[in-house]
Structure 1
Amino acid sequence: MPNLIVFSDTKLKNRLDRLSCSRIVVFSACCAEKLLPAYARFAAKASLSSSQALLYRNALDSVWNCVSSKNWNHATLVGLEQECLHAIPSPEIAREYQEPYAEDAGAAATFALRALLTCDSMNALWAARRVYEALDNFVICTVAGVESDEHLILAHPLIQDELNFQDEDLTLLEAVTQDGETNLFTELRKKSVARSKSIF
């Protein structure tokens, strides 16, 4: 049986700290993309306004555009980050509409914005952890007989697949040349959006 991949804050932080700012931001945005549909479903069920429903989609689009153009208005992004922060649904409200991972989606997108604003790798780590913890909770809630067995939870294909995706993304970001960044960033974005359709 192959060795299980484990989510390690320390190992992830060490790898992220060796990346450039733009690569840290891309990794965090990739994580946030995967959870975004949970917020879209929540917004539809809660009958949010179109501006609120698209808030995190627009925020992530802004992150990707800023990484691509390497040009942005700091004050505008600070305002957007604050708007995203205050719009994150509480766990109670998210569960009320049967979309418990809407909170994780909003938080992950906010962390991606903060990564762009600060270049702090902790924001990318927290975005990745949101994805991991959402999947961990999903497995506990939907798979019979795993509630008290951490090994079975970790070994579940949904979790191992995601940890493998994160590892692969980091490996690509570690290896790419500066000339290859633009193409890689585009491919990682497409990959994350595709992943979001089947992450749960």
Structure 2
Amino acid sequence: MSIENQLQQFPVRLRAAFAACCAERLLPAYHLYCARLKLPRLLEQRLELVWSFVLGTKPAPPASQIQAMFESDSQSLIPPDQRGTEYAQDAAISILYALLSLAPSNPSDVEGPVSAARHVTDALDRYIARHVGIQPDDPKYAEQVTNHEVLLSEVARQRRDLNELQHLLSQKDQWSPTLNTLRDRATTERLYFLGQ
């Protein structure tokens, strides 16, 4: 089953949990960018807002407020498009899509969590290509990048998270322990090598 199809079965809270797990793993790239330029970590507050909703400690803000934050932050907080900021860009965009997952435009809208996950794999694609020394126009690019253990590990983490969230659908009253575990694990699985 595709990620999109699986996510469409989830309520907003579980979709947001998946998106937050993905964004959490990319957070070190955003931290490094902010530290280099001595910027406040404003997007980290957005990710914390998502986690607060996922863990049930706070309700989600109204959809109009989330959309306004998404649009404003997209203009002001995503690192500029220049060499050396690619991983931070993906981290920032992943966080913003995790935020957007709190306010889907319709019941089947999974753009937020799908895009949050895609930006993690995009960052890893670039990392692998850079470290293997292969260009996107190389005929072996797809094979070397797609089959690299770094990317395969992330895809496996995303599948594992989806499967655990799927399991929660039958345990509606007992979500909190699993959601807390997912957050803790995503924090320990941060991709620190992207922040170097």
Report the TM-score range of the alignment, normalised by the length of the smaller protein. 0.7 to 0.9
Question: Do structure 1's residue 45 and structure 2's residue 33 form an aligned pair?
Answer: no
3-state SS of paired residue (1:14): helix
Provide Cα deviations, 1:69-93, integer angstroms capped at 9, x if missing partner: 352332554443333212111222x
Query: Which residue does 2:86 correspond to in 1?
Result: 100
- Using the size of structure 1 for normalisation, the TM-score is 0.83
**1:114 is the counterpart of 2:103:** no
1:81 matched to which residue of 2? Answer: 70
1:123 maps to 2:112: yes
Choose which of 44, 52, 57 in structure 2 pairs with 1:69.
57
Residue 170 of structure 1 is matched in structure 2 by 162
- Residue 116 of structure 2 aligns with an amino acid whose one-letter code is A
Q: Which moved more, 1:119-128 or 1:181-190?
A: 119-128
TM-score, with length taken from structure 2: 0.85
Aligned residues: 183
Amino acid at match of 1:169: D
Counterparts of 1:146 and 1:83, CA distance in 2: 34
Deviations along 1:115-169, one digit per CA (max 9) or x if unpaired, are 1022631111011100011101110011145863211211111101000000000
Q: Which residue of 2 aligns with 1:3?
A: none
Larger helix share, 1 or 2: 1
Structure 2 unaligned residues grouped into runs of 5+:
none
Provide the C-alpha distance between the structure 1 equivalents of 2:103 and 2:45, rounded to a whole number of angstroms.
16
Shift of 1:181: 1.2
Could you tell me which residue of structure 2 aligns to residue 24 of structure 1? Answer: 15
State the SS of the aligned residue for 1:88: coil
Where do 4+ consecutive residues of structure 1 move more than 6 Å? none
Percent of aligned pairs with the same residue?
27
The amino acid that maps onto 1:44 is A
